[in-house]
Structure 1
Amino acid sequence: MKEYFENLGNYLSLKDKVYQNIKSQIIIGVLKPGTRLPEEELSKAMNISRAPIREAFNRLEKEGFVTVIPRKGAAVSKVTAQVIEDLFEIRETLESLAVKKSKGKIFIE
């Protein structure tokens, strides 16, 4: 069955590839909070036009990864104490739900 799923990444649109690339660089810490993301530099580095970069920025902004300021450009969003607190609250809720759902279904050998 592996042969059906090997190359799925090749079927992504250019804007999706750009989105995933930038997002992964933010998540792994290559692009740090506050780092400016100049469209022109990114388009040259990726050898693409600016349009897919703008589309990726819009999507990343909706998800909170990037802040776009009109006529100024984009930057990696800064993490606030409130964001961290919210993430821990979400994690606690999800982990509690996982424990409740798995109650009696986990077997230790």
Structure 2
Amino acid sequence: MTGDHNPVHTDEEFAKNTVFGGRILHGPAGFAIATGLESRLGIKEGTAIAFLGMTWDLRGPIKIGDTIHVYQRVDSKRETKKPGVGIVNFHVSLRNQRGESVQEGEWKVMMHCKPV
């Protein structure tokens, strides 16, 4: 998918002898999964205008066989000079089946809003 053929992602025998103890998902693939899971929440459907940027930290490995979930909250919001348009900063966390945050960060999104 990403073209990164590092054996920690593709070779179980090699990966067994790493600090991870087995193969792990490529980091950017975790972000891709997070965006897909987040979009399925539907909370931005019909209101999002543009994805403006992000910070994103890889906090731990996503191991083959992990079940991952996305969690999201609004950290801040503000109106822009253009009526009906705002900027919302979301904190997004990708967690495994043990509740451990494996990736997380802030996503900045331009959205339609009701004027205050």
Which is helix-richer, 1 or 2?
1
With the shorter chain as reference, the TM-score category is under 0.3
TM-score of the aligned structures, taking structure 1 as reference length: 0.25
Q: If you compute each CA radius of gyration, which structure gives the higher value, 1 or 2? A: 1
TM-score of the aligned structures, taking structure 2 as reference length: 0.24
